[in-house]
Amino acid sequence: MAIGNLAPMIHPNRAAPAADPEQERLLAAQAGLVENEAEPLNCETPASALGGEVTPTTRFYRRNHFPIPVLDKTTWRLGVSGMVERPLSLGLRDLMRLPAETAVVTLECAGNGRVQFRPPTPGVQWAEGAVGTAEWVGPRLADVLERAGIRRGAREVIFGGADRGTVDASRQPIRFERSLTVADALESGALLAYAMNGEPLPARHGYPVRLVVPGWYAVASVKWLTGIRVVEEPFNGFFQAAHYVYERNRGGTTRAEPVRLSRVRALITRPGSGRELACGRLIVRGVAWSGAAPIERVEVSVAGGPWQKARLVGLAPVHGWQQWEFLVTGLGPGEVSIRARATDLAGQVQPERPEWNRLGYGANFIHEVQLLLR
């Protein structure tokens, strides 16, 4: 990497103050989120609080690797550097003057569902609520890259966040950085989002600007974006090459494949697991999504019975989850389990048992709720 590429990485946001961790915990608890880790705060939405076209921002899951930086829009700059014809330094107003796109996009943490892997895998033990859908607004990443002009021979685009910290005691503090290939950066439909559900992004979700990469596991959607660097070499950062990879051992050799698109998955949002309900009829509701393709079908199995097709409700946004519902009749008293599984138009169906991998990613287990009927 040329020395010149480093310059824009030294930005005024380095010494950004951090959000108060106790206040963040309190707000999350008040919104009914489940805390999996206190500092940095990692909390998820109970499945029963999901559903609807978008997730209210207060209830949107939070996944942080480092303390939350509180950035100042008057000094914040987004640098575009490296293998570009015209390096850029953009302020929030500059970005807001560009044509904006609005997209409803589901973001899911690649570790969602990890708690179910056996043997257990390290990392935050997410159940199934590290997922949410929001309406995002901002210019297209491709437009900004076009303005800068990607030079021939460029291979990847690295996105740097303003947050930093240590990932293990023996190492220096690092930033949160992720890359996309030039083709993915231009063709994924990624946005430089400054609004979430009609409001400026809150600090915890990446204020003032985050990347939103539709269809990809949310690790690609870098929050608190301050630097975009176009490079010639594959990026080997910690969150790119050491983590967020499916690591599998085959015949004694370890292979690592990067986490990319969200795997197909359905969640039952109503009724919530553990509920006591009256016998008879019951409407089961949920959401389903897949990074690869739209949802083709959702099936429900009651008390271990056959898979039956649920009704898809409305037309889902291209990259937002599909709502669905299913009417169950003739329920007698006692405990009953209800399961739901999704299939996408690419032909991928949720597996009975997602493939175990060392770091516990892509755990798209079939969701099951237990009910007590009286």
Ligand X SMILES: Nc1nc2c(c(=O)[nH]1)N[C@H]1C(S)=C(S)[C@@H](COP(=O)(O)O)O[C@H]1N2
Chosen residue from 47, 55, 62, 262 binding ligand X by CB under 6 A = 62
The two beta strands, 195-196 and 131-138, are: antiparallel
Report if residue 136 touches ligand X, rule: CB under 6 A: no
Chosen residue from 16, 36, 50, 61 binding ligand X by CB under 6 A = 61
Tell which residue, 68, 24, 43, has the closest CA to residue 165: 68
Q: State how far the Cα of 178 lies from the Cα of 318, in Å rounded to an integer.
A: 24
Q: How many CB atoms lie within 10 A of CB 214?
A: 23
Minimum CB separation of residue 141 from ligand X in Å reads 15
By beta-carbon proximity to Mo ion, the closer residue of 225 and 284 is: 225
Chosen residue from 95, 219, 331, 363 binding Mo ion by CB under 5 A = 219
Report if residue 260 touches ligand X, rule: CB under 6 A: no
Report if residue 114 touches Mo ion, rule: CB under 5 A: no
Q: State how far the Cα of 141 lies from the Cα of 182, in Å rounded to an integer.
A: 11
Minimum CB separation of residue 155 from ligand X in Å reads 22
Report if residue 218 touches ligand X, rule: CB under 6 A: yes
Tell which residue, 288, 134, 286, 270, has the closest CA to residue 202: 134
**Part in contact with Mo ion (CB under 5 A); list of ranges 31-39, 61-69, 336-344, 358-366:** 61-69
Minimum CB separation of residue 258 from ligand X in Å reads 13
By beta-carbon proximity to ligand X, the closer residue of 105 and 145 is: 105
Instruction: Report yes or no: 44 and 130 within 8 Å, Cβ to Cβ.
Output: yes
**What token pair was written down for 132?**
């949410």
Report if residue 223 touches ligand X, rule: CB under 6 A: yes
Instruction: Report yes or no: 342 and 350 within 8 Å, Cβ to Cβ.
Output: yes
Q: State how far the Cα of 205 lies from the Cα of 194, in Å rounded to an integer.
A: 10
Q: Which residue has the closest beta carbon to ligand X?
A: 161
Chosen residue from 80, 95, 219, 245 binding ligand X by CB under 6 A = 219
Partner whose footprint covers residue 221, from Mo ion, ligand X, none (CB < 5 to 8 Å by kind): ligand X
Q: Concatenated DSSP letters for 93-116?
A: HHHHHS--EEEEEEEE-TTTTGGG
Tell which residue, 144, 151, 168, has the closest CA to residue 80: 144
Minimum CB separation of residue 165 from ligand X in Å reads 9
Interactions with ligand X, residue window 31-50 (CB under 6 A): none
Report if residue 367 touches ligand X, rule: CB under 6 A: no
Distances, alpha carbon 204 to alpha carbons 14, 19, 40, in Å: 17, 8, 11
Report if residue 54 touches ligand X, rule: CB under 6 A: no
**Part in contact with ligand X (CB under 6 A); list of ranges 62-70, 135-143, 277-285, 341-349:** 62-70
Interactions with ligand X, residue window 95-124 (CB under 6 A): 109
By beta-carbon proximity to ligand X, the closer residue of 213 and 282 is: 213
Minimum CB separation of residue 23 from Mo ion in Å reads 22
Report if residue 109 touches Mo ion, rule: CB under 5 A: yes
Minimum CB separation of residue 105 from ligand X in Å reads 11
For 181, phi then psi, to 5°, come to: -65, 160
Distances, alpha carbon 321 to alpha carbons 17, 129, 180, 295, 336, in Å: 35, 14, 23, 8, 26
Query: Which one-letter amino acid corresponds to residue 60?
Result: F
Q: How many CB atoms lie within 10 A of CB 116?
A: 18
By beta-carbon proximity to ligand X, the closer residue of 134 and 342 is: 134
Report if residue 63 touches Mo ion, rule: CB under 5 A: yes
Interacting residue ranges for ligand X, rule: CB under 6 A: 60-65, 109, 161, 163, 176, 205, 218-219, 221-224
Interacting residue ranges for Mo ion, rule: CB under 5 A: 63, 109, 219
